[in-house]
Structure 1
C-alpha cells in the first residue's frame, strides 16, 4: 500500500448501511451538467450512501455490465475489466461516430486481482460490488477499506444472477442499477433517453411475439471444461444477464426440473443424457459471445449434431442451438443481445426487425440528442 503522500486526492466520509464508511474522490475537469462540483450522495446496496464531490472522471469497473452502463451514460470507458473476452465491445463498432479503445483497458484478473493495480489505475470511483473481491479473489475486508480510503469508493451490486448464497442484500434490475449510475454521473437526461429507447424496443417485441402457446421452451447453458457437460443457468431468477430471454417470453426448460442454478461454490453440471431428458426446444449456449456464426457452428453446433445422445435433443434436431452471447450486459449490449435473440428464435416474426436505433444510441452516448 502506498503512503498518503502519493495519493493525489483527498476524501470525504459517508455513512454506509453495511461495511462501514465509504469515501469518495474529489475530481476536477469537464462536468456533465451544472451540478458537477457540488457534493451529492447516491445510495446502493451493499455500500449504502456514498458521497461524491464531483462526477467521476477516471473510473474502473470489474464486470462489463457496469462498464457498459457508464459508457452509455457518457462517462467514457473503463480503466480496467475482469476479462476482455467477456466484454462485448464489438457492439460499439456499430454505433456511428463512437470509438472504444480496448488497448487502454487493463486486464484486472490476470493472475488474480492485485490490489496494486487499483493504486496504479488511480480511479475516482470503482464500480464494483466489494463482496465480489472478497468472495472471488484473494482480498479481505482490510484490502477493500484500504483501497477505498487511499484511492476511491466502491459502488456496485452483483446483479448478474440471483443464486449466490453470499448475496443476502437487495438486487437491482438493469434499469434500476442504470438509474443509480446516472445519479453518480449526473446524467439523468441520458438515462431517460435510454429508458425511452428500451421501452420502444419492448413495445415492438410485444407486438410481434407469437402467442404464449407458440413460444418455445429454452435451456441456457455454459460449456464445462470436459466438453460434454454444461453448467446450467436459469433465466427465470431475475438476473440481468438473462433479461433478454424473459423479455422474449421464453419458458425456462429448467423451471419444472430439480436441476439447480449455477452459482459460485456450487458448479454442478448436466451431461448430455440429462440434456436429452430435459429435451429443450431451444438450446442457448454461452462463452461464445464474440464468435461469428460459422465459428459458433463449428465449435458448438456440429459437435452436438455428431454426438449420438445430443443429436436426439429437440433443439439440436431442429437446428435451434443459438449463441447466448455474454454473461454481462449493460443497456447497449442488452439492445444487441435482445435483437439477435429475437431474430434467432422467432425468425418469422423478427426477420426484418431493427429493434433499436443505432444512431440514437450514439447520440445518447455523446450527449448530442
Structure 2
C-alpha cells in the first residue's frame, strides 16, 4: 500500500514510519507541520528509502491537503497528527481545539471527496485509520478505592468521559470519524491506545523527563503521591498493532491497544532510577532526586486497557514487557544525547525555521 501518515515526525508517527520502511514493502508519505514536537531526525533512518517522502503541511490547510492527495494518491491514511501534552492543554487549550478537532474535520472532508472519486476497486480497499487515546474514556476506579471484585478496564464499549482539554479534543475527533463513517460510508478504523514509551519521545514527557533530569542532577518531579496508574505500551509494539489494524481490521470497528503493564507513576520513576544506578552509577542513588510536587488539575487516577478484541480478532499481542522495554528506552537516551541536546538547545528548531520558514 501507499500510506499517508499525518504527524509522522512525532513520537508514535516516527516509530510507525521506521517500522514500515524497515520491515514492510509499503510506501510512506509523511505529512507533518513540524511544530515543537515534530522532529525529522526521528525518521532519519527511513528517509533515505525510495519508499519514503515528506510533505510539510498543516492538516487545517485544505488546499495543501488536496494537493498532497492528488499528488500521491494514497491507498490508506493513518491519522496521528495531534497536540498531545495534557499540561500544555491545560495552559493553552486553543491549539488542541484547532489541531485535534478542526484539523481532523478538515482532513476527513478532504479524504471523503478523494475517496468518493476513486475507482471502485481502490475505493473498496481504502482505509482511514484514526489513532486516538485511552484518555477519552476518563479514568477508572483506583485499587485504593475499589475493595471488592475485579478492577474494571477500558473496552471498546466504554462510554467517553474525558477529563482534560486534550482528551476532550481527542474524544471530539473520534466522534467526527465515527460520524463520517455512518453518514458518508467512509471506511474508517479507530484505535485507542494506552501510554506509549520508547526512543525518540519528546523530552517533556514523563519517562524521558525522569531519565534526563536524573542524569543531569536535577530534581525528578512526581505529581501528588505518584499513585496514578497507567498502562504502558512500548512504541514499537504499538507500531506493529497499527499496521495490523490498517491491514486486517474491519472497517467501522474500534480496537483498543494496551501493553498489559499497569504501573503507578512512582513505580515507573523508581524503576528508571534503579536502572540508572546500574547503567550510569553515581555517588548517591537516583531515587534521592525524587521530588513530590502539586498534583495536576483534574489528574486521572487510573487507566487500563482491555486489549482482548485486537488479540482475539487480529492476533496482535505486545512483545515487550515493561522491564525489557524500559531498559531499551533508558539505554537509548543514554546513547543518544545529541538528539536530546539538539531539541533542548534550540538547534533543531533553528534548522526547521531555516529550511521551512518560521512556524
TM tier, smaller: 0.3 to 0.5
The structure with the largest alpha-carbon Rg is: 1
TM-score for the superposition, normalised by structure 2: 0.32
TM-score for the superposition, normalised by structure 1: 0.32
Larger helix fraction of residues = 2
